Amino acid sequence: MYKIYAVSDSIGETSELVAKATASQFRGKIDVERVPYLRTVKSVDDFIEAIEEPHHCMVISTIITVDIRKYLLERCIAKNIHVINILGPCINMAAQLMNVEAENKPGLIWGIDSAYYKKIEAMEFAMQYDDSKDHAGIRYADVVLIGLSRTSKTPICMALANKGIKALNIPLIPEIPVPEELFQIDRKKIIGLTIDPLTLMDIRKNRIHRIGKASGQHQHLRDLQYANAERILTELEFAEKLMRRLKCQVIDVTNRAIEDTALLIMEYTGYIKTK
C-alpha cells in the first residue's frame, strides 16, 4: 500500500483535499494521512523520521512559510521521498503578476474567512441534533427538516451545514408526537420533505435487505412493516397532514440530488437570492 502525506503549516485541509483527489484516481491503492501544523524545523524532522517506508510514499505540501517549505523539500530529497508543494508556485506566480511580495503567513485563508468557522459550527450542530436527539436545538436552528424515514434528512442537513447553515431534522412517525417546539418557531424555517410512495418502498426494502444481510436476521426483518405499502401510505398521510397544519414549504425529494434539495431549501429560506 502506498501513502500520500498531506502536510501543511496550517490545518491541512487544502493539501488533504488535493491528496484525496489524487488517491481517488488509484482506487484502493493509496492511503492519505493529514499532517497539520508543520511550523518548525523540529516538527519537520519529527515528521520525516516517523515515515517508515519512504520509497512507498509521497508528500503533498501546502506549507506557506518559505524557510520551512525549503527545509521540508531538502529533507524529502535527502530521504528520496517524492514531494510537491502546490501553493508555492501559485503564490510566486501571483506575486510576479502583481509585482508585489506575498505575506507568506500560514492560515491566512482561515483567519480572514469567518465562513469556515461557521461551517464547522453548523457541522457540529447537525451531528448533535441529528434525528431529533434533542429537541432543545429546534429554537437555535436556521432550518428544521421534517420528513419520514429515508427521505434524506440527515445528508441534506450535512449539505446545508457545509454552507454554514445550522440544520436539524425531525423524523415523522405516526405513533410519536412531534415536539411542541415545532409550533413555537418561525414556520419559514421549517421544510417538509416528501417522496413518491413507490420510491420510498424500494429504498426501504433495499435498506432492510442490507441490514438483514449484515446481521443474518433475514426472516425477522421480512416481518417488519417498515417497507409495507399500507404502512408507507399511512405515514405519508400523517406527514402531509402535519405539513399542512404547519403551513411549511414542502419539497418532493423523489429522484432529486441532495445538493439540489439543499439549494432549494436555501432559496426558500432566503440564504441565497434568486433572480
* Cell numbers that stand for 180 in this block: 411542541
The per-residue pLDDT for 175 is 94
Query: How confident is the model at residue 219, as a pLDDT?
Result: 46
Distance CA 154, CA 131 (A): 7
Cell of 35: 499532517
Domain ranges in the chain?
Answer: 2-111, 114-268
Percent of the chain topping pLDDT 90: 63
C-alpha cell recorded at residue 188: 419559514
Q: How far apart are CA 142 and CA 129, in angstroms?
A: 13
Q: Which residue in the block uniquely carries the three cell numbers 425477522? A: 220
* pLDDT digits (tens), the chain, 275 positions: 899 999 998 888 889 999 999 999 998 899 999 998 898 999 999 999 999 899 999 999 999 888 999 999 999 999 999 999 998 788 788 888 888 887 766 655 555 456 767 888 888 889 888 876 678 889 999 999 999 999 999 999 999 999 999 999 999 999 999 999 999 999 999 999 999 999 999 999 888 877 766 655 554 544 468 889 999 999 999 999 999 999 999 999 999 999 999 999 999 999 886 54
Backbone angles phi, psi at 64, to 5 degrees: -90, -45
Q: What is the pLDDT of residues 142-184, one digit of tens each?
A: 999 999 999 999 999 999 999 999 999 999 999 999 999 999 9
114-268, what's its fold? Rossmann fold (3.40.50)
The answer to whether 191 touches 268, Cβ cutoff 8 Å, is yes
Domains 2-111 and 114-268 in one fold: yes
Q: What is the pLDDT of residue 83?
A: 95
CATH architecture of 2-111: 3-Layer(aba) Sandwich (3.40)
Give the Cα separation of 165 and 183 in Å (integer): 21
pLDDT given for residue 111 in this prediction = 53
The confidence score (pLDDT) of residue 91 equals 79
pLDDT at residue 274, rounded to an integer:
55
